[in-house]
Copies of this chain bind each other. A is one copy, B any other.
Amino acid sequence: MSNLWHVSTTEYGGTKESIMRRGNLYQIANGAMGYRGTLDEHGPEECVGITLAGIWDRVGSAWREPVNAPNGAFTRVSIDGRVLGVDRVRAHRQTLHFAHAIFERETTFAVRGTEVVLRSERFLSAAVPQLGVVRFSVCASRAVDVVLRTGIDGNIWDLNGPHLPALTAEKRGAVLATHGRTHELGLMVAVAEAIGHDFAEEAHEVVDGRNLRVLRFRAEPGRTYTCHKYFAVSTDHDRFGAPALDAAIAVAERARAAGYEACRTAHEAEWARRWQRCDVVIEGDDLAQHGLRYSILQLLMVAPVAGSATSIPARALSGQVYKGAIFWDTEMFMFPFFLHTYPEKAVELLRYRIRTLDGARRKARTEGAGYRGAFYAWESQDTGDDACAYFNIGDPFTGRDLRTHFRDKQVHISGDVAIALWTHFRHTGDDSLLLEGGAEVILECARFYASYAYFKADKGRYEILDVIGPDEYHERVNNNAFTNMVAKETFAIAQAVGDHLRRRHPAAWRALVRRLRIARELPELRKIGRLLYVPSPDPQTGVIEQFDGYFRLREATVAELKSRMVHPNEYLGAGQGLAVPTQVIKQADVVMMLNLFKDRFDTRTKEANWKYYEPRTEHGSSLSACAYAMVATEFGDLDFAYRYFLKTALIDLEAKYKVYVGTIFMGGSHPAANGGAWMTAIFGFAGVSADERGLAIRPRLPSGWRSLRFHLAYRGDAFAVAITPRAIRVESPVTNRRDHRLVLAGKTVVCRRGATVEVRSGARPKVRRRRAPARAAAGSAG
Give chain A's interface residues, CB within 8 Å of chain B: 368-369, 372, 390-391, 395, 397-400, 402-403, 450-451, 453-458, 463, 465-466, 476, 478, 524, 528, 548-549, 566, 570, 574-576, 580-581
By secondary structure, the A interface counts as: loop
Given A450-B457, A466-B466, A575-B575; 20 other pairs, CB 8 A cutoff:
A368-B549, A369-B478, A390-B581, A391-B581, A395-B576, A397-B398, A400-B566, A402-B576, A403-B581, A453-B457, A454-B456, A454-B463, A454-B465, A455-B457, A457-B528, A458-B524, A465-B465, A465-B466, A466-B476, A574-B576
Q: Check if A403 sits within 8 Å of B457, measured CB to CB.
A: no
Q: Check if A454 sits within 8 Å of B454, measured CB to CB.
A: yes
Q: Check if A566 sits within 8 Å of B476, measured CB to CB.
A: no
For the complex, what is the distance from the CA of A402 to the CA of B397, rounded to whole Å? 14
Q: Check if A369 sits within 8 Å of B549, measured CB to CB.
A: yes
**Chain B nearest CB: distance from A340 CB in Å?**
39
Using CB atoms, name the residue of chain B closest to A402: B576
Q: Chain B contacts of A478 at CB under 8 A?
A: 369
Using CB atoms, name the residue of chain B closest to A524: B457
Q: Chain B contacts of A458 at CB under 8 A?
A: 372, 450-451, 524
- Please list 29 pairs of residues, one from A and one from B, whose beta carbons are closer than 8 Å in the complex, sorted by A's number: A368-B549, A369-B478, A369-B548, A390-B581, A391-B581, A395-B576, A397-B397, A397-B398, A398-B566, A399-B566, A403-B575, A403-B576, A451-B458, A453-B457, A454-B454, A454-B455, A454-B456, A454-B463, A454-B465, A455-B456, A455-B457, A457-B524, A458-B524, A465-B465, A465-B466, A466-B466, A466-B476, A574-B575, A576-B576
Using CB atoms, name the residue of chain B closest to A528: B457
For the complex, what is the distance from the CA of A463 to the CA of B390, rounded to whole Å? 25
Task: Give the copy number.
Answer: 2
For the complex, what is the distance from the CA of A451 to the CA of B524, rounded to whole Å? 23
Using CB atoms, name the residue of chain B closest to A455: B455
For the complex, what is the distance from the CA of A453 to the CA of B417, rounded to whole Å? 31
For the complex, what is the distance from the CA of A455 to the CA of B450, rounded to whole Å? 12
Q: Chain B contacts of A456 at CB under 8 A?
A: 454-455
For the complex, what is the distance from the CA of A398 to the CA of B372, rounded to whole Å? 41
**Chain B nearest CB: distance from A530 CB in Å?**
13
For the complex, what is the distance from the CA of A36 to the CA of B388, rounded to whole Å? 55
The 10 closest A-B pairs by CB, nearest first: A397-B397, A575-B575, A454-B454, A455-B455, A369-B548, A398-B566, A455-B457, A576-B576, A451-B458, A402-B576
Q: Chain B contacts of A548 at CB under 8 A?
A: 368-369
One of B369, B399, B476 near A476 (C-beta < 8 A): B476
Q: Check if B580 sits within 8 Å of A403, measured CB to CB.
A: yes
For the complex, what is the distance from the CA of A457 to the CA of B570, rounded to whole Å? 41
**Chain B nearest CB: distance from A654 CB in Å?**
32
**Chain B nearest CB: distance from A368 CB in Å?**
7
Using CB atoms, name the residue of chain B closest to A578: B400
Q: Chain B contacts of A451 at CB under 8 A?
A: 458
For the complex, what is the distance from the CA of A549 to the CA of B390, rounded to whole Å? 14
For the complex, what is the distance from the CA of A400 to the CA of B565, rounded to whole Å? 10
**Chain B nearest CB: distance from A221 CB in Å?**
66
Q: Chain B contacts of A574 at CB under 8 A?
A: 575-576
